Amino acid sequence: MELIQFRKKRRHVKKGVLVIILAFLLVVAAVLAFILIFGGAEAVSKTGKLTGTKTYSAVVIRSEKVAVVKDFDTADYLVRNGQQVRKGDNVMNVYNLGYSRENTEKLLAVREQILDAQLRSDGETRDPELKSLNDGIVSAKDMLSKAVMAGNASAVQTISGNLRKLLSDRSDYLRDKSQQNETLRGLYQQEADLLQAVESQRVTVAAERDGVVSFYIDDFASTLNADKIGQDLITAELISKAFDKSERFKWTGSSTSSAFRIVNPNEWYCAFLTGTSEPLRVAPGKQYSVEIAGYGSFIGTGVTSFVNDKNVVNIIRFSQNLGALIDVRTCEISIAYEAEGMMVEKRAIQFKDGEPYIEIVTDNGRANVYVDVLAEDGKNAVIRIREGAEIPTGTEVRYWIPKRGRK
C-alpha cells in the first residue's frame, strides 16, 4: 500500500517538473518573440538569388526636337511620317495663318492649261523622260485616291506633296522643251503671279539635326524630353499629368506652331512612379529586361530613382530602335527583376526621407547604410550597398531587424 502511494507521489513530482519546464520554455519563447517583434533582433546576411516581375504604367521620354514656326493654316509634307532625314533636309512647307488656298487652286488650274498648251505645241512625242513623269503622276493620283478612301490623313498629306512636286517637275521639263507662243507666254505670266502670291505665304522648314521625322505632336514633347533628365525636371507631377491627359498625339493641323518632331530613335527612356515605402526601384547601372505591352521586349539600363513629391521617379534608358513608340507617350511595362548577391530579410529595410537603408551591426554598435534593392520576393531582398558606404568585409554581414512598426 505504501509502495503504491510512493509511486503516485513520484508521478505527481514528475508532472510538476514537466509543467515547470514547459512554463519556462513558453516564457523564453514569449520573451524571444517579444524581442524580435517589438525590440528588434540581429541577423546575418547570406548570398542568394531572387527573380520576379512587376508591371507599371510608364511614360515614354525621347531625345527629340520640335520644329516651331509661326502659326500656320496648312502645310505640304515633303517626307513621310517615320522617315529618316539628315540635318538640313527640307521636311515641310507651312503656309502662314491667313493663307488663301484659292491661290493654290488657281495655280494648279493654270498649270493644267499650260500642260495642254505645251502638248499641243509639241505635238506627238515619245519622250521617255516625259513618259516617266506622266507615269509617276498617274501612280501618285491613284495612291492619293486610295489614301483618301481609307481615311489615312498622314498618307494623304505625304502623297499630295509628292504629286505637287511631280506636276511641277513636268511643267518645268516641258517649259524647257516647248516653243513659246502668245498663249503660252500669257499662261506663264499668270503662273508666275500666282506662284509669287503662294510663295509669299510659304515657309520651308528643314531638319535641325539627323533623326526620324514625326508629324504627331502632343503637349509633352519639350517637357518630357531626354535633355531634362539629370536636372530634376522630370517630376512625379509631370508624369502624372501625362497619364491623366485625355488628348494624345495629334497630326499637325491648322493654326498651330509645332510643325514636326525630329527624334533620335536610339535614345529613349521609360519613366514610372513607385511609392516611397516600396523598396524595389530602379538601380543605376543595372540592366533590366522590359516588356512593353503591344510593342515588344527591350533591354534597358537603370538611370536613376529619386524621391519627388511623395513618390519615387524611376527612369530606365534604352538604346534599341524605338519603332512605333515614336508616337506613343504612355504605355504599360513589365520589368523582370533578377539579382544575385547579398540577401537580407525584407523587414530589415528601413527608409529615411524615402531612401532605403539597413542597419549594419558592428562591434561598436549599429550604423545606417543606404542600399539599392535589386530584387525581392516579399520575404527576402537582394540588395546592393551604395557606393561610398563602409561595411565589414566578408560574405556574411551582421545586420539589424528593427522592431515591428518602426519607421
pLDDT in tens, 93-114: 888 766 666 777 787 788 778 8
User: What end-to-end distance do the CA atoms of the chain give, in Å?
Assistant: 67
Nearest residue to 217 via CA among 257, 271, 175, 164: 257
**Residue with more model confidence, 73 or 327:** 327
Mean of pLDDT values over 46-69 = 95
- Could you tell me if 347 and 37 are in contact, meaning their C-beta atoms sit under 8 angstroms apart? no
Q: At what angle do helices 128-150 and 153-177 cross, to 10 degrees?
A: 160
Q: Name 273's Cβ contacts closer than 8 Å, sequence gap at least 6.
A: 56, 236, 239, 240, 311, 312, 313, 314
Residue 51: pLDDT above 90? yes
Which pLDDT band, with edges at 50, 70 and 90, does 407 fall under?
Answer: very low
CA distance 265 to 283: 24
Which pLDDT band, with edges at 50, 70 and 90, does 89 fall under?
Answer: very high
123-131, Cβ contacts within 8 angstroms, sequence gap of 24 or more: 127/177, 129/173, 130/170, 130/173, 130/174
Which pLDDT band, with edges at 50, 70 and 90, does 11 fall under?
Answer: low
Residue 6: pLDDT above 50? no
- Could you tell me if 347 and 388 are in contact, meaning their C-beta atoms sit under 8 angstroms apart? no
Residue 242: pLDDT above 90? yes
Torsion sign over Cα 364, 366, 367, 369: positive
pLDDT of residue 406: 45
Residue 204: all three cell numbers together: 520651308
Q: What is the pLDDT of residues 244-267, one digit of tens each?
A: 875 678 888 655 788 999 999 999
Is residue 264 classed as helix, strand or coil in its secondary structure?
Answer: strand
Longest dimension (CA), the chain: 153
Residue 247: which region, alpha, beta or left (left: phi > 0; alpha: psi -120 to 50)?
beta
Residue 9: pLDDT above 60? no
pLDDT of residue 228: 94
Instruction: List Cα–Cα distances, 334 to 23, 58, 267, 289, 394, in angstroms.
Output: 52, 10, 20, 8, 35
Nearest residue to 81 via CA among 230, 254, 173, 213: 213
CA distance 380 to 214: 46
134-137, Cβ contacts within 8 angstroms, sequence gap of 24 or more: 134/170, 136/166, 137/163, 137/166, 137/167, 137/170
The residues facing 366 across adjacent strands are 361
Mean of pLDDT values over 159-181 = 78
Q: What is the pLDDT of residues 283-322, one digit of tens each?
A: 999 999 999 999 999 999 999 999 998 899 999 999 999 9
